[in-house]
Structure 1
Amino acid sequence: MSPALSLLQQRHSAPSRQLGEPAPDEATLQALLEASIRVPDHGKLVPFRLLRLQGDAKLAFGEQLAAIAIRNDPDMSESKQEKEQLRYTFAPLVMVVVACLHAESKVPEIEQKLCAGNVAYNILLGAYALGYGAQWLTGWAAYDPEVATLLKLSAHEHVIGFVHLGTPQIEIPDRDRPALADLLDTWTP
């Protein structure tokens, strides 16, 4: 395997429940995020921004999210309620990647969202390269208008993902990957 491609060949997500302290320190996080925002950006719109959830603020966010989930589904089972209440208690740091869409731009909305998605992926890849674990999650909260209000998002902003960061607390096995031969064709006229 080419050393230049080994990082891509080995990268995998670490389940957020398996992420603990330490998170990247401030200098490492700044370097990671500066590298992560170097993405293809048609029109130089910078259609993204980042929100940090850490410490007491992360826990308060998680509690408020759980309350919204239970209010939205009062018949939710106790096990699902517990899952909602614990969701933000594991990884020490969560980065919220937000797409900031420019409706007046000639750049299609999908390209702007993909640009923001590349930021989220770069955080995953960079975290792995630095020896940390990360998982990109969305779930109902990424699409819920009440959560958008909680995060103080503008009408033109959307959550792309919640990237949970920390140190894997166990060895994380890789998952099965698709075979390239099943995915690759050559187009001919």
Structure 2
Amino acid sequence: MNTAIFEFLAARRSVKPDRLAEPGPNAAQLNDILTTGARVPDHKKLSPWRFIVFEGDARKAAGEIFAEACKKEDRQEPSSIRLDTERGRFLRSPVVVAVVSSVKARPGAPEWEQVLSVGALCFNMCLTANALGFGTSWLSEWIAYSPMVRQALGLAEHEKIAGFIYIGTPMEKPEERERPNIDALVSRWPA
């Protein structure tokens, strides 16, 4: 058994986006994160995903879209604090990658399998970034479901945001959290 890999996986933690600082991955590292992230089970080799990368000033521009969507889609008038939060949403980390689930109609490759493949890709991206020394947080948040945000990001009708992967350098080691009791979740067949 490769104990180094086991220890790495056993200790992996998400880092809250506002606890991720510069530097983020450079272009070559980000390419590695995306390329290695995509090495997941992919029935029929459909690559049922795509990426939208937010870096530099693009993060601020996205925040303006989020604030506008918040104004138009919220049930009540958002406060100036809330709008500032939306404007700064992607400024919490140096790089944010939107992973878009783009299911392909293909006999023998059910939608559910393609969606699971995209989920595996998101986590594989996190693991790859973590292996490179970066912290990550995989979130969806309300913006993933906003019609205005979806339109601004150029999503097709059949596409969904599987998540936003925030990537940066952790400001501190995240605290451990309670984990599920695996014994309570496992059964043996026949029951």
Question: Any conservation in 2 of the 1:102–1:156 contact (CA below 8 Å)?
Answer: no
Aligned to 2:68: 67
Q: Tell me the TM-score normalized by structure 2.
A: 0.92
Relative distance call for 1:143 and 1:106 in structure 2 (3 A) is farther
Q: Which amino acid in 2 is paired with 1:54?
A: E
Is the partner of 1:88 in helix, strand or coil?
helix
Q: How does 1:1-189 map to 2 (within 5 A)?
A: 2-73=3-74, 74-188=76-190
Unaligned runs of 5+ in 2: none
Is the partner of 2:90 in helix, strand or coil?
coil
Q: Tell me the TM-score normalized by structure 1.
A: 0.92
Alignment RMSD: 1.7
Unaligned runs of 5+ in 1: none
Give the Cα–Cα distance (whole angstroms) in 2 for the partners of residues 109 and 76 of structure 1. Answer: 37
Displacement, 1:109? 1.2
Give the Cα–Cα distance (whole angstroms) in 1 for the partners of residues 182 and 3 of structure 2. Answer: 17
Relative distance call for 1:79 and 1:186 in structure 2 (3 A) is farther
Moved more, 33-42 or 78-87: 78-87
Q: Deviations over 1:2-37 (max 9, x none)?
A: 333112101110000111100011111112211111
Give the Cα–Cα distance (whole angstroms) in 2 for the partners of residues 110 and 58 of structure 1. Answer: 31
Size of the aligned set, in residue pairs, is 189
Displacement, 1:164? 0.5
Relative distance call for 1:32 and 1:104 in structure 2 (3 A) is closer
